[in-house]
Structure 1
Amino acid sequence: QKSVGSIAIVSISNSIVGRPRRPFCVLFVPIAKQGWLRWFCAVSLSPSEAISFNMSGSRRQFTMCFKKKVIEYAEAHGNLAAQREFGPTEKSIRYWRSQKQRIISCSNQKKTSFRGRTAVHPELETALVEFVRELRARSLPVTTECIRVKALEIARDSGLTRAQFKGSPSWVRRFMKRKGLVLRRRTSVCQKLPAEFEHKLVEYQRFVIELRRQRCYMMGHMGNADETPVWFDMPSNTTVTEKAAKQVKLLTTGNEHSRFTVMLACTADGKKLPPYIIFKRKTLPKEDFPRDVIVRASEKGFMNESLMLEWIRLVWNRRPGALFQRPSMLVLDSYRGHLTADVKRSLSDGKTDLVVIPGGLTSILQPLDVVLNKPFKGRVRELYSEWMLGDNPKTPAGRLRRPPLATVCGWVSSAWKSLPEEMVRKSFRKCCISNALDGTEDDALWDIASEKQTSSDSSSDESE
C-alpha cells in the first residue's frame, strides 16, 4: 500500500483460472459531497500510471479554428486518424462532426462549446443585430440603452407584451454576448472614403502617370507637402504601474488641447525639406530657434495663402536642384489655401506642376499621410516624454510650465531628421507617384512599408 496525499493506491497481484495477470491497482479518491465521503476507483492501471494519474479535473478547451482543422482532417482520413494526429478523443471528434455547421459559423478564436440558454425570441434578436450593423456601417455610435429601446420597439411591433419580453439591461448584456457584440473605445475619428472612390483613384493615378511621361520628372523634383497638427502636451495613453493601483494619473503641463501646425515636405528621392512651423500667436518670442526649421506666427495657427506663398519661396523653390528650373511636380491635398490663383501662379513660375489629391483620398494617396506622419509624431512624443522626466521650470502655483517654443521646434527638427530616406522613397512608391513607368515596382502599391510597422511599435497608442 502506498499513500499519496489523500489518495490510497493499493497494488494487487491476482490470477484467474491459473493464468497470472499483470499487477493492477485500485485508485481510491475521497470526494466530499453532501456530508458523505464517497470513493471512486480506477482499475487496470499500473502503479506508475496510477501515481501519474491526472487529478486536476480540468477540461481542455479548443478554439473553433482547431476544431475546424480536426473536422476537415477527420472527414478525409477518419476519426481515429484525427485522434492520433491532433490528440482529442474519438468521441469528441465524432461530436464535433455532428456540430459541424455550428462550428463553421463561429469565430476562429471562440472556445465555448455552445453553452448557455438559446434565444427565446430569435427573430427579434436577428432584427436587432441588423439594426446595430446598419448604424455601425454609417459610423454612428450605438449604446446599450439604444439597443434596449430598439428591442422594446421591435417587440411591440411583433405583438409581444411586457410580460413576455421585458428588455431589461441584463437581457441586453446576454444578447450582446450571444451575438458577439462588445463595447469598444473609439480608435480614431476616421476619414470616410467618398462614394465611387475607386474611379477617382484610377483617374488620379492615370493623370500622374501621363504627366510623368510627358514631363520626364527627375526623382528629386517630385514632391509632397502637407500640414499636420502637433500638440504641446502628448501624454501616453498607457503606462506601467502596479496591478492594485485604483487610479492611473499622468503628469502634464495642462496644454493637451493646445497645438501648432507643421508643414512637412519631402521629395521622391528621399530628401526631407525644412519643416515650416506655425504657432498660434501674433508675434514670436525672442528665442534661439533651430536653424533647420522655419518658424512663423499666425493669429489662427494654420496655413493661409500668404504663408503658403512664403513656403513656396523659402522651402520649395530652395530645395536641392531647384535652381536649374527643371520641370517639377508638387502633390498637395485639396485644402483651399493650396488652390488659390496666386499659389498656382507662383508654382507655375517655378516650372512646377500642381497635382491635387481628390477630396477624401489623402489617407491612401498622400505619402505623408500614408507612411510618414505617424512615425514622425511618435518620435515627437518620445522627445516630449524625455523632457517631462527632466527638472523643468514650474509656475508659482507649482504646475509645470509649457515647454518653450524653441524646445518644441527642436523636437520637430529631430523627429523629422530621424525618418530614414528609404522610408520616404517607399512612401512615394506606395502612393503611385514615383513607381517605375514599366510597371516593375507596382507591387509597392500593396505592400505595407516595413518602416511604418516598425515605427508604430514604439508609438502604438498614437491617435491620428
Structure 2
Amino acid sequence: MAAMDVVSAPLTLELLPTDTLLLILSFLDYQDLINCCYVSRRLHQLASHDPLWRRHCKKYWLISEEEKAQKNQCWKSLFIDTYSDVGRYIDHYAAIKKAWADLRKYLEPRPPQMALSLQDKMSAKRKSYSVEYKKGIVEDSRGKNLTAFCKEKKLDLRMVRKWRAEYDNLSQQVDEGNAKKRKCGSGRQPLFPELEDIICEWIADRRAKALAVRRADIQAFALAMAPQLEISPEEFKASQHWLDGFLQRYELSLRSTTLFKLEDTEVIKRALAFKSFVDGIDFSKYQLSNMIAMDETAVFMGQGSQTTVDHRGASSIYIPSTGYESARVTCILAIRLDGKKAPPLIITKGKNDKVECVSGIYVLETEKVWCTQAVIRKWVDLMLPLVLRGGQRGLLVWDSASTHRAKDIKNFLAERRIDQIMIPAGMTAYLQALDVAINKPFKDHLRMEINDYIENSMERNQHRNFVKPSLQEVVTWVKNSWDKITDSCVANALRAGYMDRKCSFKESSIAGHERLGPMVLQEMESQEIQAGIQGLESYDDVPEEDDMTVFE
C-alpha cells in the first residue's frame, strides 16, 4: 500500500534524457526544428544538433559530404545559407538540381561547347569586380592579343575594352583609396531615390533623439510616405528585399544597444574630481584596517561560455547544458586598505535571514538574491563593527549604486561613524579597485572551479538530468577562488584605484589608460599650472621701499 501511495512527478518534455529527445527531434521537419529553438535553452541546443540537419541538407538541397568538406561548414550553417539564397524554391530545388546534374552527366561525353554554352547562359549570379582588379587587368592586357587574353582570364571582351577606356578613372579611384570598391555610381540604382532620402533623414532624426529604429518601423514609415510622393502601392511594397538593399546603400545595419558610456571630456572631469576629493580627505584619522573597498558580483552555476576549441569542419559542436545557467548567487568581495582580504559574503535564496560562517565564508539567505539595504546593513556590521573599532571612524569605498546612495544607508553609516568614498557614476571600470584588478581573476578562478565540478563531480537524477549544486559546493568554489587572489593582486588593485596613499595618481588605472591616460595627465598638469598662476596673482606680500634694507 505504501508503494501505491507514492505520487510520481509528472513527466515533462524537459525531463526526458538527451538521447530520447534527439530521437524525437529526428522525426521533425526543418520548420519544426526551428520552432523548437524558441521553446527553451535546452531544446535550442538539442535542435541545433548538427546530425539533425544533415538529413534536411541532403533531402532539400542534395548536398553531399564532398560539398560540405569543401565549404568547411557545419550542416546547420549549410542549410541556413542555402535557404537564404534559394529558400523560396525549397519544394522544387532538389528535383531541379537532380535534373541539372543528369543533364550535365548526359552532356559530358558530347562536345564541350554545348555544356559551356548552357552554363554561361544559366549562371546564377553576375560577378562583381573591384576597381583594383579592373585596373590590374587593363595593365596586364597591354601588349597582348586582347581576344586570347580574355579567353585565358575567362572575361568578356567588350567588358575589358570598356575598362581600358575608363583606365584614368580607375587609377584615380585607386589613388583615392577606393581600390576595393566598385566604380562610383555602378550597380543598380534605387527606383525611388527621393523616398529613400526622406527615410534616411527620418532615421537620423530619430537616432539623434535616442529613439529606437527597427526594420518594421522603416517599412511602415516608407509605406506611409510613398502616397505623398505619388508612388502607388503596386509600384512600391517596402519588401524585405528592398529593405536589405536600402540598408546596404546607406551603410546602415541593425545594431545592439551598448552600455552606458561617458564622453572623454566627462571621464576626465570625473576622474580629476575624484582625485581632488580623495586628496582632500584626512586619512590620518583612520586606521588602515578600518578602511575597506567593496564590490558585488554575480556567481552563475552553469558553464557560462557556449564556445569551445575544436577541429575545423567538425560536423557537430555540442556542449551539454546543466539546466542551471540562470541560477545564481551574489557575492560581496572586499579588501582592506592595509592590503588584506576580507571574507566574502554569499547572498543566496532562502528564508533564514541570518548570517552564518561556513568554511570561513559568510552566507546569508534572503528572499532576493541581490544586495538590498538590509544586506548592506548586515555586511557593514560584519566588516566594520563599531565595538572593534574602539570608537574610531571607518571609511567605506564603493560605487554609486542606488542602494548605496539611499538616504537610509547614509544615516545608517553616519550613526556608526563610517565615512564613504563613492566612485562617480560610469567610472567603476577606471577607479573602482576591485572592478579594475580583482573581479576578473576571481571570476576566472571561479569558472575553472565550476567547470571542474561539472566535469568530475556533478550528479544526475533518475531522469538523467543534472542535480543542482548544493550550497556547500558554491561555498567551496568561492573560497578556493578567493584564496587564489594573491597579496600582489590586492596591492595592484589599491594602487589602480588610487587607494594606496604611498602611490601617486599617475600610477592609477585611469592615468595608465592607453587612450584616456595622456589626456587625464595633461588636464591635471594644466589645472596645477592654472592653480599656481592664481596663487601668484593673489600673493601680495612684497615689502614697500621704506621697509627694504640695502647692504653695501
1:302 pairs, out of 370, 374, 379, with: 370
Structure 2 distance, partners of 1:154, 1:165, is 11
* Structure holding more strand per residue: 1
- The question of whether the paired residues in 2 share the 8 Å contact of 1:191 and 1:363 is answered with no
1:400 has 2:466 as partner = yes
Verify: 1:97 aligned to 2:97, yes or no: no
Quote the residue 1:17 is aligned against.
none
CA–CA distance in structure 2, aligned partners of residues 428 and 130 of structure 1: 49
The answer to whether the aligner puts 1:280 opposite 2:349 as a matched pair is yes
- For 2:391 and 2:498, the matched residues in 1 are separated by 24
For residues 328 and 200 of structure 1, do their structure 2 counterparts lie closer, same or farther at Cα, with a shift above 3 Å needed? same
- 8 Å Cα contact 1:235/1:250 also seen in 2: no
Deviation per CA, 1:19-48, whole angstroms, max 9, x where unpaired? Answer: xxxxxxxxxxxx96649xxxxxx9999xxx
Contact 1:219 1:434 in 2 (8 A): no
CA separation in 2, counterparts of 1:421 and 1:139? 45
Change (3 A) 1:121 1:434: farther
- Answering whether residue 329 of structure 2 is matched by residue 260 of structure 1, we say yes
What is the correspondence of 1:20-59 to structure 2 with a 5 Å cutoff? 34=117, 57=153
Relative to structure 1, the CA distance from residue 381 to residue 127 in structure 2 (aligned partners, 3 Å threshold; closer, same or farther) is: farther
Match of 1:207 among 277, 281, 284: 277
Moved more, 367-376 or 214-223: 214-223
Which residue of structure 2 lines up, in the alignment, with residue 116 of structure 1?
Answer: 187
**Residue type of the partner of 1:277?**
I
1:167–1:100 Cα change, 3 Å: farther
Counting only pairs closer than 5 Å after superposition, residues 411-426 of structure 1 correspond to structure 2 as 411-426=477-492
Partner of residue 50, structure 2: none
- Please report how far the alpha carbon of residue 241 of structure 1 lies from its aligned counterpart in structure 2 after TM superposition: 5.4
Q: In structure 2, what is the equivalent of residue 161 of structure 1?
A: 232
1:151 to 219, 222, 245: 222
How high is the sequence identity, in percent, across the aligned residues? 27
Q: How many residues align?
A: 361
1:170-181 equivalent positions in 2, closer than 5 A: 170-181=241-252
Partner residue of 1:69? none
Kindly provide the CA deviation profile for residues 116-150 of structure 1, in whole angstroms up to 9, marking residues without a partner as x. Answer: 32444444434434544555566665433232223
Q: For each residue in 1:423-460, what CA deviation from the matched residue of structure 2 results, as whole angstroms up to 9, or x when unmatched?
A: 444445545554778654367435169xxxxxxxxxxx
1:388 and 2:454 matched: yes
Where structure 1 has 5 or more consecutive residues not aligned to the other structure, the ranges are 1-30, 36-41, 46-52, 60-90, 104-109, 450-464
C-alpha deviations, 1:181-216, integer Å up to 9, x for none? Answer: 3345x487x24659x95566654443222125x657
Name the aligned partner's letter for residue 207 of structure 1.
F
Deviation at 1:163, TM superposition (A): 4.5
Higher alpha-carbon deviation: 374-383 or 423-432: 423-432
Is this contact kept in 1: 2:247–2:253, CA < 8 A? yes
Structure 2: gaps of 5 or more residues = 1-111, 119-140, 156-165, 516-552
Q: Which amino acid aligns with 2:446?
A: V
| Offset of residue 282 of structure 1 | 1.6
Helix, strand or coil for the counterpart of 1:225?
Answer: strand
Normalised TM-score (structure 1):
0.61
Deviation at 1:230, TM superposition (A): 1.8
| Amino acid paired to 2:462 | P
203 and 398 in structure 1: CA distance in 2 versus 1, 3 angstrom threshold: same
Residue in 2 that maps onto 1:311: 379
Pair 1:182-2:253 in alignment: yes
Structure with bigger helix share is: 2
Task: Work out the CA distance in 2 between the residues paired with 1:242 and 1:164.
Answer: 50
Q: Is the 8 A contact 1:430 1:447 kept in 2?
A: no
User: What letter matches 1:111 in structure 2?
Assistant: K
Match of 1:128 among 187, 199, 224: 199
Map Cα deviations across residues 94-124 of structure 1 (whole Å, 9 max, x no partner).
7343566683xxxxxx933345324444444
Q: C-alpha offsets along residues 363-387 of structure 1, whole Å, 9 cap, x if unaligned?
A: 5543334454344333322322222
TM-score normalized by structure 2?
0.53
CA RMSD of aligned residues (A): 4.7
